Structure formats: C-alpha cells, structure tokens
Amino acid sequence: MSSVLKFYNDKALGEIEARNFKVFNDRSLEKIPQLARLSDARRFEMKVVSSVLPFRVNEYVINELIDWDRVPDDPMFQLTFPQRDMLAPESFERMAELHRRGADKTEIAALAHELREELNPHPAGQLDMNRPRMDGEVVEGLQHKYRETVLFFPSQGQTCHSYCTFCFRWAQFVGDKELRIASNQCDQVLGYLRRHPGVTDLLVTGGDPMVMKTRNLAQYLEPLLEDAGLAHVQTIRIGTKALTFWPHRFVTDNDADELLDLFERLVKAGRHVAIMAHYNHWRELETPIAREAIRRLRETGVEIRSQGPLLAHINDDPDVWARLWKTQVQLGIIPYYMFVERDTGARRYFEVPLARAARIYREAMQRVSGLGRTARGPSMSAGPGKVEVQGVAEIQGEKVFVLRFIQARNPEWVQRPFFAKYDEEATWLNHLKPAFGEEKFFFEDEYEAMRAGNG
C-alpha cells in the first residue's frame, strides 16, 4: 500500500493537512465504495450523526481492519463509523429534519453546537479544574490533575489518523476553539515543568501526537535531554492510536526512522519512554504492518503499554479481552488499563453497567496468565480521580461494590478502599451511593472544596 493515505472526513487538520494526505468532508461518505452495501437509510443516519460527532476514517482501516461481510455488527466498523443511537432519539430527529429539508450549513452548524453542549464535551473537570496557572495566567495546552503527571496537548497533534466513535476527547475535533485544548508554546510548557520539580511524568497526548512530523515532536522532547532544570521529568509517555489506525507511521512514513531514532536517544539518555497504545479489539494486532510497527518500536527500548475502554457493540465480551491481552503479552506489550466508557459524547451507545463490567473483567482475567493480569480495571477516570471497581462483595448482609482510587487529586486517597451500594444499572461514579448508611463518600467534601476553589 502507498504511504500516501486517503482520508474521509469533515476537513483537514494539523499535520495531516501539512503532509498532503487527500482529505474529504463528511459528505464523502458516499465515495467509500464499501458503503454501497448498506441501505440508503443507514447511510443517511451516518450523515446525520457525523454532523454532530466527528468522523474520520482512512483506507487502512477500511481495507485491512473492517470485515465488511459482518457490517454493521463488525467491531472495527462500530469503532470508526457513526451509528444512529450515538445520539439521543430527539437529538437525532432534530438534526435529521434539517438534512431532510436541505437546511444550509449555518443552520446545521448551529444545531450541532447546541447538541454538543448536551454531550458533556469536557468531563472530569478538564477545563475548570485541570488547567494549571503560571504567573497568574492559564498555561494553555496543559492539564495537571495528578501531582506527578502533566498532560501536554501539542497543537500539531490535535487530530488523529482516524477517529474512534467512542472518543472522550471528541471536542478537540469539532472545530470549536472554545472547546479545544492545545498549545505550540514550547517555552511556556517547559517553563512550567521547570517550576514543578515534583512532576516526574510528561504525557504527550491529543488527538494523537503521532500525526506530527518527527521534527515537531522533537522540539518538545529534545529539551528534556539538554536542560538540567528538567532532569526531574524521567518518564515520557505518548498516547497514540497510530499502532492501530496507521502503523506505517513507525515503518514506512518518510520520517519513521527519524522518529524511532528520537525514541532511542531518549531511552539511551536515561528517560523511560512509554507508548500508551490504545487498543479496543484483538483484530487491531493482526496485520503484518501492525506487528512490524510493534517490533520496530520495541527495538528502540521503549515500552508499549495498552489501554482502552470496555465498550458495548465492540468488546463487551471476556473472550475478546482475554484474546487481546494474550496477544499483547505475546508481542511484548504490557496490558495496563481497562477503562469504563467516560460520561461524554456517544456514551449512551457504548456504556456498560459497572456490575457487568466487573464480571467481564474478572472472567477475562481468569483466562490469562499472570503476565496478562497487569491490566487494572474496570477503572473510571472521574473528577476526583481514577476509581477502580475491585469487585462485588457481601458485607454484613449488604451487597456492595468494592472501590479504590488508583490515582487521585489528593494522593492520600490513593489505594484507600471504599464501598458503594450495589446497583445493577449504574454506569458511572455519580450513579453510586455510599454503603452502610453513610451519607457521603470519604472524599466528597474535600473534592467539592477543590471544585469551588477552581470555579
């Protein structure tokens, strides 16, 4: 396959545009030949949903990952193509009516903006609690939720090779500057890190930093090798879906060797470099180019850790997770997290009740060896922190969820167990009630004080 990739999407963004990949808007759905197999009604539904939620898919995904004989039930199709029920019925009908009567782009955009506001575009305090300040000013493009870890959103990396339909950062991709978190101010970012010697981990995220050209990524990372004032930043994490959606980035792209050389230099200089690879299904690991990308990355000395959410219609099956983790261990990837779908975007379509998620996790764990049991979960990345559902128990006659913080805004909360009343339907932390007659969870008052202080 050519290293020049066709994209089907609303518009070009960032580095994809700079690299001259051919890009189509959402109306180019009709130009994807495989979609001719679907009914006119289903193609119309896709058009309606893609007016609200971002859509992008490339030829590698279309030709190599999707089993078109299983569409629409194919998990990779569900992962990348919009489905009607990703919008609430009323929201879908309002947007569908505009398309039926041929409304102009301005009217469609106005309704899309309204509907997006109802989808919790920035969950877990991303805008009002996580943005740090320096000299009284917000440091754009950074999130600092946990003491040791700073997230950086380079502006050149705020798109992806393809978009996941479940994406919890979908608001980055809809063209609304008020919703987007990004910065290309390298000096400001590095200045913030210098002032915070307690920060040990820098997570470069997006979007997907791997849409960036290597020279642009290097401008942010090479100073870590040259500046003694940044020696405390010992771990560099890079969040990416490129190993699934465009593994050629690490193999055949023009600057693939340059990228691997950058990683190797960081490792040889003593930095721990971790590729935080997002995987949702074992099929993503099956193509020869995907396996070659993994092999080449591992040769540089970087560590590949895998994470992804538990999703209805895609991987809500313990056999899928067990096969995923087994394959990852075989390829030298470390299973890291099973997340719960966040309370944003198309959550209503993908969410799985916590009770069922805990059962799926437990059954999958029972089918893998100890090396596959490094994956933690199911974990909710909620406002107070990452809350793990450790299981269900009966204590003093009461059925409860056993919970703990894996990470938290207050480090003293970490690893402290707490209990919630069992609820077969609950899908998120705010659906749970304290067990044993308690009025509040132990962290609630302090968390509310944190929220008030950032309001």
d(CA 133, CA 76): 40
- Give the ranges where 73-222 is alpha helix by DSSP (H): 75-80, 89-100, 105-117, 186-194, 214-221
Which residue positions in the chain have pLDDT lower than 70? 1-28, 454-455
Residue 445 CA: distances (Å) to CA of 123, 126, 132, 255, 441: 19, 20, 22, 50, 8
Q: What angle do CA 309, 75, 123 make, to 5 degrees?
A: 30
pLDDT given at position 31: 81
pLDDT given at position 12: 30
For 187, counting Cβ atoms within 10 Å of its Cβ (0-12 exposed, 13-18 middle, 19+ buried), the class is: exposed
- Token pair 């809500």 is at which residue? 316
d(CA 80, CA 278): 14
Q: What is the share, in percent, of the chain residues with pLDDT greater than 70? A: 93
pLDDT tens per residue, range 97-141: 999 999 999 999 999 999 999 999 988 788 889 999 999 999 999
Tell me which amino acid residue 47 is: K
pLDDT given at position 359: 98
pLDDT given at position 127: 81
pLDDT given at position 175: 80
Q: What is the pTM of this model?
A: 0.92
pLDDT given at position 330: 98
pLDDT given at position 377: 96
pLDDT given at position 27: 55
d(CA 72, CA 82): 10
List the helix and strand counts (H, then E) for the chain.
16, 16
Tokens of 378: 């199911």
pLDDT tens per residue, range 30-79: 788 899 899 999 999 999 999 999 999 998 999 999 999 999 999 999 99
pLDDT given at position 26: 60
pLDDT given at position 329: 98
pLDDT given at position 28: 63
pLDDT given at position 403: 98
Q: At what angle do helices 214-221 and 256-268 cross, to 10 degrees?
A: 20
- Token pair 């910065």 is at which residue? 183
